[in-house]
Structures are given as C-alpha cells and as structure tokens.
Structure 1
Amino acid sequence: MESQKLFQEFEAISSKEWKQKIQFELKGADYNETLVWESLEGIKVKPFYHADEFETNTQVNTQVTQFKIVQNIFVHDVTKSNKKALDSLQRGAESIRFTIENESVIIKDLMQNLPLDNNHYFFYLPFLSIDFVNQINDFATKNKANFSIQIDPIGHLVKEGNWFTNLDTDFNILNQIVAKTNLPFVNLQTHIYQNAGANIIQQLAYTLAHANEYFNRINWSVESNSKITITIEIAVGTHYFFEIAKLRALRLLFEILAKEYHPNIKCHILATPTKRNKTLYDYNVNMLRTTTECMSAILGGADSVANLAYDALYHKDNEFGDRISRNQLLVLKNESYFDKVNNPADGAYYIETITEQLAEKALQLFKDIEANGGFITQLIEGTIQRKIKESATKEQELFDSGKEILLGTNKYPNKNDRMKDDLELFPFVKTHSRKTLITPIIEKRLAEKLEQERLAQEE
C-alpha cells in the first residue's frame, strides 16, 4: 500500500493570509494591541508563527534522552547522608549532589557502599581547599568514579559579598587545582540571578560574563585533548516556553564563547526550579509549579535536573518532601516519556524564535558588560546589582498589582490557611550586617511581604 501524504489536497496558507483572516475576525480591533504581548525581557510575542518566516532552524544539540534525576543532600552527618544517598538511588535518583559543610568530611566514609558504575556524584564545596579536592580526586581515580567538584569563588562573591580570601589567592588556588585533577571542578552558581529577580536576558548575559571570568583567569592548557566540563547551576522559572528557550539559548551562547578559548570546553547544565514564585500558603501549588518548571528544564536540554521539594521553604529536609519531588521527575521520565526524543523543541517556530531573540539580546548585553570592564568589575561597581534590582522591582510591582498571579496567594487565597505553627525554617530574607567588598545579590520571593502580613494576622 502506497503511503499517503496527509493534507496534500489542501493548498498551503501563508502567514500573510493567516494574519488577514485574524484581522477580519477581530472585527476592527487592533491586531497588535489585542493579540501581541510583550514579555519582561522586551520580546513581543505574536499570536502565531509560520514556516515561511524562517530561513534556517536554530541548531541546538539537546540530549534530552540522557537527562539525569539528581537528589540534593546536605552533608551534616556523614553516616546519615550516606544512608540517604543510598536510599535515594534505590528509589530512582540517578545522581547525587552533596553539599559538603566543611573539610572534616571523609569522602571514603561518605561514599561507603554507594554504587559507582552508572551514577554521577556532584560535590559542592562552599570553601576552597586543595587538600580536600585531592581527597575527592584520589577516591575518584582509585575507584574510577564519575565525580564532579563544584567550586565557584565568583558565585561566593555574588552571594556573600566577599571572596573566600581575595581575588588573586582564590584564582591561584583554582590554577593549582587545574594541575592536580582531571575532574570537572568549575561551577557557575547562576541560579541566584533568577531567584533575585533578574529577567531571562540578564540571567543569560550574567552567566556568560560569569563564565568568561573563569575562561580568562584559569590556565587551561589549549594543547590538551582532554574534555573540560563546566557545571552551570541554573534556576528555571514559571514561563514555560520562555524557559525552554532560555536553556537552549544558554547552551548555544556558551558553546560560541567557549570555542574562543579552548576547543574542548563543554557545559553540564544542572537545572532546578526557581524559589522566586514559591509560596508559603497553599503550598501544594508549589508541586504544580515545580512540575512545569522541570518539564521546561528537560525540554530545554538540561543534563541534570534536581527538583525542589514543595515544602522546602518552611520545612527541614524530610523523607516525604524528598520522595514527592523525586517522584515528579520519575513520572516525567518513565510515564510521560520525556526522555525518548532528543532536540524536542526543534521545528517549534515559537520556541525557535524566542531562542534566537533571547540569544541575540543576551549576547549584546554580555558584550556591553565586557566593554565596561567585565563581570567582576561591574559587581564591584554595583552595576549588576542595580540592574537586577530594577528588574526585580518591576516584577514585584506586577505581582503586587495582581497582574503577576500566584494562585492561592494573590489570587483565590484560602483565608483559613494557618502556617505560623508549621514553620521549621525562616522563609524570608535574612539580614546579617557585616563588612563586604560588594553588595551581595539577595534572593527574594515575590510573595514574602504578603505572607508576612498574613502571618502577623493569624490568631
């Protein structure tokens, strides 16, 4: 039986004809005012996109079939952390990200009986120590383990306002680490930009500028044939298609920039849902938010995804919250088949258009940052902080006016909700006066002020 081409008896309709039909149906209403809307990034979104508006597709290689489910574990007690890691892997996690509190942790004890053959382990270090890196490297070499160390002095500066020691010393240590390990060790903690209120173009440009400081200051051997991997931790927001495009644009821009420095630099994108839109009241809605954010992360091409527990704002780590957040990813992978097709966004004219526009605007902002001294210089001058604050204020005003909606918080709130007696953690911005080199970039949720008012009114 000969195969038939569907719809071949119908004539093709051009974008011009579609627009004319839409304008007719609008009965005099203005096309642009009625149907075209503008994002916070200044991108005008049309009601439809058509093949005749494209010459070539944006080529972004996203290996969606290989994305890994990550479990975050804060190492306070080595024995308990080891047990939790083993349990998480048995329950569906494929990678573990340990946050190591201090240098007293013994890696051999932490990794006892954990499977090494098919699992990837991240070690986030909020300190700089060559000896500790050597300990991780020695274990990985001896056991042929797939380890990534996560060190980010610039991220520490951004968050805390100070270097670990100072700029020269911190980068001197990084360059010593280069000579001692083949493990990936450079990490970009870029999720703070999204969580602090930066728009998508700023997030992309600041991530590039953040990376560029490492490219310029770390002495990787250009002659080396070994692959250099930089981990980028990025937060994924609530704007579904824009977030897919954001990750695609990030990979595209990173590859363009990295090729200027070394032929074998690649990025490993570790995505997690944003905290900015998460809420204290009607907290179960957080599960809906994190589900769509994880979907965006996967479809956008994240290499690894670490979900955020629905109660992470106000509860300490707990088995139930961890299990639910992990199961969300397991459902997406094993029941929704999100891991079956690579490059799933290819050919989606809307997403490809946004990808191109975000990449172009972010690249222009990145060039502007570099022309004005680079990322570290602009942090010291306060330019980056000021721009993020401007963007965050704009978004906050939209939330306060009800134009930016968080269901259950500023839209259809449940007046019977009571949270005061359920708070194990302080869910708001903490202030701590100290002397800093720069003004730190502070993460802040949209709903904080409203939630504080509601807590104060609880009986």
Structure 2
Amino acid sequence: MSNIPLFNEFSAVSAKEWKQKIQYDLKGADYNETLVWESPEGIKVKPFYHSDDAVPTPKNLTSKSIWKVGQFIYAGNATLANEKALKALKRGVESLSFTIPSEEIDISKLLKNIAINSIPVYLNMEFLSQTYVQSIFELIGPDNENIHLNVDVIGHLSKTGNWFSNLAKDISTQENILNGKFKNVLSVDSSLYQNAGADMVQQLAYSLAHANEYLNLFFKKEKQVFNITFKVSVGTNYFFEIAKIRALRLLWKTVAAEYNVATDCHIIATPTKRNKTLYDYNTNMLRTTTECMVAVLGGADTIVNLPYDAIYHKDNEFGERIAINQLLLLKNESYFDKVENPADGAYYIESITNQLTEKALLLFKSIENGGGFLKQLKENTIQRKIQESAEKEMLRFKEGREVLVGTNKYVNETDLMKDNLELYPFLKTKTRKTLIQPILEKRLAEDVEQKRLDDE
C-alpha cells in the first residue's frame, strides 16, 4: 500500500472551477440570485466555501471545550436559594449564577457549603454597594478567582433608563469595587441587545463599545490585566451564532490590545428569549438545545440553559431539571466537551466570523467617533438603531420569512394557554421618569400570542 496520503492522489479543484461547474448545472439561472442569500447583517452567504476563501483569522479563538453547566437562581431568600443551589450541584450543575435583589440577602447563608474554590459563582446584584461587596470579600478572602461580581452600571442604565444613584456616584463606586481585592468585577450584559432585537453586528459593536467605556474609565496603564465577563444570548441561526461568539472574543482581543491588555474575556451564554413562544411551548426545548450547542461550539466558558416554560411558569422542578439535563446530555452523551476548538478551519464559519468582526469593528469605530457608547445612549441613537432592527425582524416574522413553529407556521389551533399562565409573559411597561429611554426586551411572538389569548 502506498504511503502517499489518500487525497494527494486527486488533483485539487479550485473555487473557480467549483463555481463554473455549479453555473453549468444551473442551466442559465443566475448564480447570485439563485444560490446566494443575504443575512440581516448584510452578509452574503455563498452555496459553498473553499480553502481559497480562507481568511487569516487567528486560531484557537475557542479554547478547549472545558465549559461549565450553569444554572440561574433568584436569591430572594438566601436559605432557599442555597438549598436550591446545593441540589443543583448534586444534579450535575458546575456553575451557579445568583441574582441578588437587595443588600438584605445574607451572603454567608447564600454561599453556605458551596465549594467556591472549585465552583464558578456569578453574583448579579440588582443594586450597587461597596459595603456589600466588602462583606463578600470578608467571607471569601483573597482566593476568589471563581467569584464573578458582574458589576455593570452601564448595563443597568441601558436596561432601566437610570443610574443606581447618578453618573458620578455610580462610576466612583464601581471604580472603588474594581480597585478592591476581587479579581473578577466587571461585566457587560450583551444579552440585553439581543433580546431587544439588535442584529448580530449591533450586538457585537454595542457590547464592544460598552466594554470600551469601562476601559476608558477604569484601565490603569501599570496594569496588564483587565478581567471582564460578557453575558451573551444566542439564537438558533446556528453557524452565524457560533461565529458571533468567536467574533466577540476576537473583537475584545483587538480592542484590549490597544490598551496593552492581554487578558482574554470570560463568556457566559444562555439561550435567547427573543424566539421563545407561549403556544406549542415544547418547541422551546428544541430551540434551547440548538442554542446550547451553539454556545459550546462558539467557545462559551459557562452555559446556562433556559427552561422551556420560563416565560410563563414560575421556577419549577420539572422545567429546571429538563434544562439541566439538556446540557448534561450534550456534555456526557454527545461528548461536546471532548473536541478542542471545533470551529477552527471550517471555511464557512471562519468567513462569517471574519465578516461579522469587520462589520462590528466599523460600527464600533462609528460609535467612538460619535462620542462613545454613553453619549449615544443619552442621544437615543443606540435605542433607535436597535428598534429599527427589531422592526425589520418583526416584519420578516409577520411575512413568514422568520418562522416560529407553532406560532406563525404549523399552528395548533386547539392549543390553549390562558389557564396555564403563572407569570405575565409580555413586555411590562409602566410610566416612570427616566434619564434615558431604556432598551426593552420583547419576544417576537408577543403580539400574536396576546391576540390568541384574547380569542380563547
């Protein structure tokens, strides 16, 4: 048997030759009109990709697939939240993300018996308090690499329309916390932009501009480390979403390098709420499975699944168990943690990654030239652009070009939901005074669902 590699026995076929063959088979039909489609981000997708299309994208954008199975836990009661966390850890959860609503929550009770030296813990505080952070440090001590405080004052402004107190005080408090003894303080909530309807280029550019505000405010030249966590929501546009997460890492490295920061970002990913539906709700399980796969292949560090009934049911045993098991199946039965850098070398994904990166970088530069992210938030530019993108997506949904099975296609007319609602599943609006217009999350199916509920 010859020692020559198998494929060396075949002559190479160039991209040009492939295209000529396809054009011949089309029998006169236009190649671009027939086979090339354009994404909402303006990226033209070809029917095939070739090594000739290879772009010099840095390798190892995704690390070895040592990703953690996470779970969100609302800590309205420290003792109950702790019990829930310990139970989740026994079920296979490897990382915990607590939402802490007030300073009254006893952090010692919340973290009791949790091995924080080996289990990543995210603390999402719905308030800003240096005193509370100090109490966390006194409990944990200097060995706190697994604790992520996820302080994001700009994210709070974007979501609520107001600072916690005011610009000067919030920035000062966040800086004091950052200069403390915790290694992981800052976060950027990218999921807000996705759930509000921003396209992928906007999500990336706004996240980067958001992070750059923190670099401008807090980076000190004598430091080479600037740890930051991005909270990302992923949808079901499979290859594009993989490329989006990869592009985020590349963009962060690009901007961080301008400050001589060599620290990689940390990414926690969760399925989007944007495409989740009230009717035919079991399809949400299929959507979240795909989205969790995307998060793994894109290179997220921690993945927290969204229960299939999260938009209309209170936290419940069944929904949460299924959500955890989806991730455990991907890790333990589908071996999604065994492959290193799975997307490297895939010409299609590499091409999309490169194009998303280039387009996001252009938009980022435009934001910076316009005065930066905070300035454009105050001028309502960011909100207006997201709204325009959301309206385009809604139009595609209404016209059936954006399909949600069970909602705008293959509808089960006998499906009734009015008596199953434990939570209000729609956008809540209340009149209040805000400094800026908040960025509001809204699901695609809400208007259709409200009408169906009224007709039941």
TM-score under structure 2 normalisation?
A: 0.97
Q: How many angstroms apart in 2 are the aligned matches of 1:97 and 1:54?
A: 38
Tell me by how many angstroms 1:224 deviates.
3.6
- List structure 1 segments (4+ residues) > 3 angstroms apart after TM superposition: 1-4, 55-58, 142-145
Tell me by how many angstroms 1:69 deviates.
0.9
1:106 maps to 106
Q: How many angstroms apart in 2 are the aligned matches of 1:81 and 1:221?
A: 37
Residue 213 of structure 1 aligns with an amino acid whose one-letter code is: E
- Quickly say closer, same or farther: Cα 1:363–1:110, change in 2 above 3 A: same
Do the aligned residues in 2 keep the contact of 1:197 with 1:395 (CA within 8 Å)? Answer: yes
Per-residue CA deviation, residues 200-231 of structure 1 (Å, 9 max, x unaligned), is 0000000000001111112x443246x43211
Q: How many angstroms apart in 2 are the aligned matches of 1:2 and 1:80?
A: 67
Q: How many angstroms apart in 2 are the aligned matches of 1:145 and 1:52?
A: 43
1:69 maps to 69
- Quickly say closer, same or farther: Cα 1:182–1:117, change in 2 above 3 A: closer
What 5-or-longer segments of structure 2 have no aligned partner? Answer: none
Q: How many angstroms apart in 2 are the aligned matches of 1:56 and 1:254?
A: 17
- Quickly say closer, same or farther: Cα 1:316–1:64, change in 2 above 3 A: farther
Per-residue CA deviation, residues 44-68 of structure 1 (Å, 9 max, x unaligned), is 0000011123253443431142111
1:154 maps to 154
Q: How many angstroms apart in 1 are the aligned matches of 2:142 and 2:178?
A: 19
Tell me if 1:208 matches 2:208: yes
Do the aligned residues in 2 keep the contact of 1:259 with 1:265 (CA within 8 Å)? Answer: no
- Quickly say closer, same or farther: Cα 1:145–1:62, change in 2 above 3 A: closer
1:243 maps to 241
Tell me which of 405, 408, 431 is aligned to 2:406.
408
Tell me which of 278, 283, 306 is aligned to 1:308.
306
1:20 maps to 20
Q: Give the match's secondary structure for 1:12.
A: coil
Per-residue CA deviation, residues 151-205 of structure 1 (Å, 9 max, x unaligned), is 1111111110001111111011111112322331111111010000000000000
377-386 vs 111-120, which deviates more?
111-120
Q: How many angstroms apart in 2 are the aligned matches of 1:328 and 1:57?
A: 31
Do the aligned residues in 1 keep the contact of 2:70 with 2:93 (CA within 8 Å)? Answer: yes
Tell me by how many angstroms 1:7 deviates.
3.1
User: How do 1:262-273 residues align onto structure 2 when only pairs under 5 Å count?
Assistant: 262-273=260-271
2:425 maps to 427
Do the aligned residues in 1 keep the contact of 2:144 with 2:183 (CA within 8 Å)? Answer: no
Do the aligned residues in 2 keep the contact of 1:64 with 1:338 (CA within 8 Å)? Answer: no
- Quickly say closer, same or farther: Cα 1:141–1:228, change in 2 above 3 A: farther
Do the aligned residues in 2 keep the contact of 1:248 with 1:301 (CA within 8 Å)? Answer: yes
2:52 maps to 52
Per-residue CA deviation, residues 116-169 of structure 1 (Å, 9 max, x unaligned), is 342111100111000111111222216757211011111111110001111111
1:370 maps to 368
2:188 maps to 188
Tell me which of 250, 253, 257 is aligned to 1:252.
250
- Quickly say closer, same or farther: Cα 1:278–1:296, change in 2 above 3 A: same
Q: How many angstroms apart in 2 are the aligned matches of 1:75 and 1:175?
A: 25
Residue 201 of structure 2 aligns with an amino acid whose one-letter code is: I
Residue 243 of structure 1 aligns with an amino acid whose one-letter code is: E
Per-residue CA deviation, residues 32-90 of structure 1 (Å, 9 max, x unaligned), is 00000000000000000111232534434311421111110000111111111001011
Do the aligned residues in 2 keep the contact of 1:68 with 1:305 (CA within 8 Å)? Answer: yes
Do the aligned residues in 1 keep the contact of 2:187 with 2:231 (CA within 8 Å)? Answer: yes
Per-residue CA deviation, residues 6-38 of structure 1 (Å, 9 max, x unaligned), is 233221111111111111111111100000000
Q: How many angstroms apart in 1 are the aligned matches of 2:151 and 2:437?
A: 21
1:128 maps to 128
Q: How many angstroms apart in 1 are the aligned matches of 2:144 and 2:266?
A: 20
Do the aligned residues in 2 keep the contact of 1:188 with 1:230 (CA within 8 Å)? Answer: yes
Q: How many angstroms apart in 1 are the aligned matches of 2:230 and 2:243?
A: 16
Tell me if 1:336 matches 2:315: no
59-68 vs 383-392, which deviates more?
59-68
Do the aligned residues in 1 keep the contact of 2:55 with 2:354 (CA within 8 Å)? Answer: no
Do the aligned residues in 2 keep the contact of 1:140 with 1:146 (CA within 8 Å)? Answer: no
Q: Give the match's secondary structure for 1:65.
A: coil
Tell me by how many angstroms 1:367 deviates.
0.3
2:379 maps to 381
Q: Give the match's secondary structure for 2:265.
A: strand
Residue 85 of structure 1 aligns with an amino acid whose one-letter code is: A
63-72 vs 187-196, which deviates more?
63-72
Q: Give the match's secondary structure for 1:116.
A: coil
User: How do 1:432-443 residues align onto structure 2 when only pairs under 5 Å count?
Assistant: 432-443=430-441
Percent sequence identity over aligned pairs? 58
Q: How many angstroms apart in 2 are the aligned matches of 1:130 and 1:211?
A: 21
Q: How many angstroms apart in 1 are the aligned matches of 2:101 and 2:444?
A: 29
Per-residue CA deviation, residues 214-265 of structure 1 (Å, 9 max, x unaligned), is 11112x443246x432111011011000000000100000011112224243
- Quickly say closer, same or farther: Cα 1:352–1:142, change in 2 above 3 A: closer
Q: How many angstroms apart in 2 are the aligned matches of 1:176 and 1:116?
A: 23
Q: Give the match's secondary structure for 1:187.
A: strand
What 5-or-longer segments of structure 1 have no aligned partner? Answer: none
- Quickly say closer, same or farther: Cα 1:210–1:243, change in 2 above 3 A: same
Q: Give the match's secondary structure for 1:11.
A: coil
Q: How many angstroms apart in 2 are the aligned matches of 1:276 and 1:80?
A: 29
Residue 22 of structure 1 aligns with an amino acid whose one-letter code is: I
